[in-house]
Amino acid sequence: MKALVIYDSLYGNTEQIAKAISGALGAEAKAVRVGEVKPDELAAYSLIIIGSPTQGGRATPAIKTFLANLPADALKDKRLAAFDTRNKSFLVKMFGWAATRIEAAIKAKGGNTTAQPQGFFVKGTKGPLVDGELERAATWAKAIAAGVPTNLMPGDYEVKKKE
């Protein structure tokens, strides 16, 4: 499947998740940092997955700007999904998560997400990723590609509990 994973990453954890996702989607998938992709390149892909570290409950400025500047039809007829990285701190729960807001921005552009937004956990601020998150990212990606529901995955349960 022609799939593009667009990500931002300050410390490298979201980049690792993005690469695990594109790796699970096969040879026709690739992961690119948000600054390296132009909106007109999206036309070549049927599945687009966008991910960001959660910073203050939001996506990074680069991801937010990229989404805000997308032309109205850029996401039309695409399969779309959003993810973030986040930590498990009690204090951060009140701010919300980047993936939920990326999904809202996708919908505001007329795009339809085909999977629930997903969060992957890091230890502290700089990481590393919590054990098993790369594998969970690969499983999530394969579920999206196969068109099977992702809402029963263990990670989604955690997302719902926190929201």
Ligand X SMILES: Cc1cc2nc3c(=O)[nH]c(=O)nc-3n(C[C@H](O)[C@H](O)[C@H](O)COP(=O)(O)O)c2cc1C
Residues that bind ligand X (CB under 6 A): 9-15, 53-57, 85-87, 92, 95, 122, 125, 127
For ligand X, give the closer residue by CB, 110 or 128: 128
Peptide bond into 128 cis (omega under 30): yes
For ligand X, give the closer residue by CB, 7 or 45: 7
User: Is there a contact between 119 and 87 (Cβ–Cβ < 8 Å)?
Assistant: no
Q: How far is the CB of 114 from ligand X (least distance, A)?
A: 24
**Facing residues of 30 across strands?**
4
The H or E element that residue 122 is part of is strand 118-122
Q: How far is the CB of 143 from ligand X (least distance, A)?
A: 22
Residues 6+ apart with CB under 8 A from 112: 80, 106
For ligand X, give the closer residue by CB, 63 or 74: 63
For ligand X, give the closer residue by CB, 1 or 92: 92
Q: How far is the CB of 71 from ligand X (least distance, A)?
A: 27
Q: How far is the CB of 73 from ligand X (least distance, A)?
A: 30
User: Is there a contact between 125 and 90 (Cβ–Cβ < 8 Å)?
Assistant: no
